[in-house]
Amino acid sequence: MKHLLSIDELTTDELQELLRITPSFAEVASRRIAKVPALRGLTVATLFYEDSTRTRLSFEVAAKRLSADTLNVSVASSSVNKGESLRDTAETIEAMGIDAVVVRHASSGAPWQLTKWLDASVINAGDGWHQHPTQALLDCFTLQQELGSLQGRHIAIVGDIKHSRVARSDVSAFTRLGATVTLVAPPTLLPPATETWPVTVSHDLDSVLADVDAVYLLRMQKERMRESLVPDLREYTALYGLTGARAARLGPNIPILHPGPMNRGVEIAADVPDLDQVVVVDQVRNGVAVRMAVLFMLLGSGNSGLPADSLPAAMAQASQAPVSADAESEEVSA
């Protein structure tokens, strides 16, 4: 695995493997000295063309917990506009000898384009409406903590699906882990051709909530009003918001997730976030562990496609022999 661009590009094995190793990283993050030397000497750059303090911070903390050096490549908002050549930025980064680039971009597909011009690993931290794979991983990990397993579980994703990279990533991840997903949104906030998605679609939140194991609320952006996608926020909240009454009917055992930041009073009533079943803080905490796992998988596990001839002589020799000379655990079979 060289890059993490989308959930779809992960095999189900890789997806499960990432979730399997995440607790090891959560344990490191919970230590008093929460730092291990795993990625010493490697440099991770965050390249954010769109503001997202929490995602950038999460990746930075994850990299630092693994002893990688971190760099913020600040992209002036003026150059994000039409004149920006992605290739110029990529080549600048390449010249700095960076090992992994965490990229957030308002344009769908930008991380794919970067991989064409970069030798470094590229991690998609959100591209346009398209994908946000580490968000999906942390959501899966959080749901596994809450529900044990996603197999056979029913998850409702509620809100602006059309413009949501979180929804696109989560649908793919949840369903591949065996969950069934219902999208709940007004037709104007659904993407086209949802019949080709592995989901069911509903416009009736109350009937869906009667039969779910978890609820995932998406952020409702106020810009959508101007585009006539919904008439007004009050009506949106009445039909699709998690009101206090709906939360009460849901009962205390159904976890409620949200990618943050929440619009209290819009997709979620002002006091609902304070309920115990709202696991937003767990999501943030798990985000660091999942991103550590991703960084380690890409940079530290030797799976990044390092050519054999770049190994030190002893390693290369060892690779000839059935057993690596410096790998004790190798000959121990479970």
Partner 1 sequence: MSEAYLIRGGTVADAVETRTGDLGIADGTIVAVDDLPSGAIEIDASGCIVSTGLVDLNAHLGEPGDEAAETMVSAGEAAVLGGFTTVLAMPDTHPCVDTAAVVEHVQLLGAHALCNIEVAGAITVGNKGENLAPLAELAEAGVRFITDCGSGIQDPLLLRRALEYAKPLGLTIAQPADCEALSRDAHMHEGEWSSRLGLAGAPAEAEEINVMRDISLVRLTGGRLHFQTLSTAGSFAIVSAAAQSGLPISSEVTTHHLRLCDADLAGYDTNLKVTPPLRAAGDARAAMSAVAAGRVDVIVTDHTPHTTDRKERPFDHAATGTVGLETALAAALCSGVPHEVVLRAMSWRPAELLGLGSPEQRSLQVGAPADVVVIDPNETWTVNVAAMATLGTNSAFEGTELTGRVRTTIVGGRLVVDQGKVAA
Partner 2 sequence: MAERERKGAPPFGGTFVPKATVMDADQIRRAVKRMAHEILERNGGLDGVVIVGLQTGGIEPALHLVEALETIEGTRPPLGSVDVAFHRDDIGLRPVLPEAPTDIPTELTGATVILVDDVLFTGRTVRAALDALNDFGRPRSVQLAVMVDRGHRELPIRADYVGKNLPSARSEVVNVTMSGVEIGEMQK
| Sites of contact with partner 1 (CB under 8 A) | 82, 84-87, 105-110, 112-113, 127-131, 165, 168, 191-194, 196-197
Which of 130/258 has CB closer to partner 1?
130
End-to-end CA separation in angstroms for the chain? 25
329 binds, among partner 1, partner 2, none (CB under 5 to 8 A by kind): partner 2
For residue 19, state whether it binds partner 2 (rule: CB under 8 A): no
Which of 16/108 has CB closer to partner 1?
108
Q: Which of 10, 21, 114, 124 binds partner 2 (CB under 8 A)?
A: 21
Q: Which of 27, 119, 235, 271 binds partner 2 (CB under 8 A)?
A: 27
CB of 36 to partner 2, least distance (A): 4
According to DSSP, residue 106 is labeled: S
Which of 102/272 has CB closer to partner 1?
102
306 binds, among partner 2, partner 1, none (CB under 5 to 8 A by kind): partner 2
Which of 142/172 has CB closer to partner 1?
172
304 binds, among partner 2, partner 1, none (CB under 5 to 8 A by kind): partner 2
Stretch that binds partner 2, among 82-90, 135-143, 272-280, 322-330 (CB under 8 A): 322-330
Phi, psi for 212 (deg, rounded to 5): -125, 160
For residue 313, state whether it binds partner 2 (rule: CB under 8 A): no
Distance, in Å, from the CA atom of 222 to the CA atom of 89, rounded to the nearest integer, reads 31
Would you tell me how many other CB atoms lie within 10 Å of the CB of residue 238?
11
According to DSSP, residue 33 is labeled: S
Distance, in Å, from the CA atom of 73 to the CA atom of 47, rounded to the nearest integer, reads 5
CB 123 within 8 A of CB 103: yes
CB 47 within 8 A of CB 56: no
3-class secondary-structure state, position 42: coil
Helix (H) or strand (E) holding 154: strand 154-158
Q: 61-90 mask for partner 2 (x: CB under 8 A)? A: -----x------------------------
For residue 196, state whether it binds partner 2 (rule: CB under 8 A): no
Amino acid found at 81: N
CB of 162 to partner 2, least distance (A): 37
95 Cβ contact list (under 8 Å, min separation 6): none
Which of 149/303 has CB closer to partner 2?
303
**Packing angle of the helix pair 12-29, 133-147 (nearest 10 deg):** 80
218 binds, among partner 1, partner 2, none (CB under 5 to 8 A by kind): none
48 binds, among partner 1, partner 2, none (CB under 5 to 8 A by kind): none
Number of residues engaging partner 2 in binding (CB under 8 A): 47
Phi, psi for 21 (deg, rounded to 5): -85, -15
CB-based burial label for 309 (10 Å; 0-12, 13-18, 19+): exposed
Distance, in Å, from the CA atom of 321 to the CA atom of 51, rounded to the nearest integer, reads 50
For residue 331, state whether it binds partner 2 (rule: CB under 8 A): yes
41 Cβ contact list (under 8 Å, min separation 6): 69
Which of 193/321 has CB closer to partner 2?
321
Distance, in Å, from the CA atom of 233 to the CA atom of 311, rounded to the nearest integer, reads 59
Q: Which of 37, 97, 148, 192 binds partner 2 (CB under 8 A)?
A: 37
Helix (H) or strand (E) holding 121: strand 121-127
Q: Which of 31, 87, 249, 264 binds partner 2 (CB under 8 A)?
A: 31
Chain positions contacting partner 2, by CB under 8 A: 17, 21, 23-28, 31-33, 35-39, 42, 66, 296-297, 299-304, 306, 308, 311-312, 315, 319-334
